[in-house]
Amino acid sequence: MSFTERSSPWQQPLGFDYDEGHGEQGLTALAGIPVLLQAFRSLDLPRSVARHVSVKQRQRGLDEASYVESFVIMNAAGGECLDDFGPLRQDGVRELIGHDLPSPEAARKFLYQFHDERLIGEAQQRLLPDQVSYIPEENPALAGLGRVNTDLVRELARRGEPQKMGTIDLDSTVIESWKQQALPTYQGGRGYQPMLALWAEMNLIVADEFRDGNVPALQEPLRVERRAFRRLPETVTD
């Protein structure tokens, strides 16, 4: 009896050819990032950063606006720590955004410009005998970022239907962290508990305050609320 071997699918060639001539071209799975940056720039946010944030002591390297833009990219790409800038610097998306991304160490040095040990020490000295948590004042760099956010809120409000109502929703959210400096939270573990002020009618964050994990949500919420109402556009009357 004759026997004919049947062809198996794995013996068939695949339906594509690999062109080695394109091996040096950049590849990215983050093709949506340039659209995000187009929105960022169309809102004139880089110019707002240039006006309100001045922390660079040398002219070389990225300017403040490009650093802020880089952090927007890193967060949109799902980054969770400064080391995530490493893979992004090798990604093909760099060719689409018009500038390099900072190294993890350069990004760390930039962030530390928004940290002020002197203000932390002053807040600790104001502690009452029965208090353990404190909220330091913002340094000029951090306050400058707040003004950038105000520019963003007012520009978005200008482009939409004029809003007369301004309902502010305050919320503190625990963010888990494994940093050595992170303090215990009421949920257990360690982290931070920033307070956000949301303009409910526009679903926009109009003010925020970075807080340690042991700062309860009920501690001094009024100053965040006042800051939020001051940042609403002039069209809001109710």
What's the pLDDT tens digit per position in 102-152?
A: 999 999 999 999 999 999 999 999 999 999 999 999 999 999 999 999 999
Look at residue 139 in the predicted model and tell me its pLDDT: 95
* Contact present, 171 and 200 (Cβ < 8 Å): no
What's the pLDDT tens digit per position in 27-69?
A: 788 889 999 999 999 999 999 999 999 997 777 889 999 999 9
Counting beta carbons within 10 angstroms of the beta carbon of residue 197, is it exposed (0 to 12), middle (13 to 18) or buried (19 or more)? buried
Phi/psi zone of residue 210: left (φ > 0), alpha (ψ -120 to 50 degrees), beta? beta
Look at residue 7 in the predicted model and tell me its pLDDT: 73
Amino acid type, 34: P
pTM: 0.84
Amino acid type, 84: D
* Contact present, 214 and 160 (Cβ < 8 Å): no
Write down how long the chain is.
238
What's the pLDDT tens digit per position in 148-206?
A: 999 999 999 999 888 899 999 999 999 999 888 899 999 989 999 999 999 999 999 99
* Contact present, 191 and 185 (Cβ < 8 Å): yes
> Using CA atoms, how far apart are residues 204 and 224, in angstroms rounded to an integer?
15
Neighbours of 37 (CB within 10 A): 20
Neighbours of 122 (CB within 10 A): 13
The domain ranges of the chain are 31-113, 115-230
